[in-house]
Amino acid sequence: MSIEVIFGKVLRNIREDKKFSQEQLAHLSELDRTYISLLERGKRRPTINTLFALCKPLGLKPSEFLGEIEKELY
């Protein structure tokens, strides 16, 4: 499984755990809802700026988010 797909899986799981819709997360992170959808489906590669923008409203440190990706990879 690619890192993009794993990133999307982790993002969707965390977003759903926090009870956010894609629209809510988009608004809070100042990203477009369609971009979040593309990320969740593994169709886009997030930048470091995107990672930080997503983590703030999700209440996570970027290192925690990356840790979840690592768990899926290894």
SS3 assignment for the chain:
CCHHHHHHHHHHHHHHHCCCCHHHHHHHHCCCHHHHHHHHCCCCCCCHHHHHHHHHHHCCCHHHHHHHHHHHHC
Neighbours of 16 (CB within 10 A): 11
CATH of the domain at 45: 1.10.260.40
pLDDT, residue 71, reads 96
Contacting residues for 57 by C-beta, under 8 A, at least 6 apart: 20, 25, 28, 29
Find the mean pLDDT for residues 27-39. 98
pTM confidence score: 0.95
pLDDT, residue 27, reads 98
**Number of structural domains, the chain?**
1
Find the mean pLDDT for residues 13-24. 98
Residue range of the domain that includes 50: 3-73
Find the mean pLDDT for residues 61-66. 98
pLDDT averaged over every residue in the chain: 97
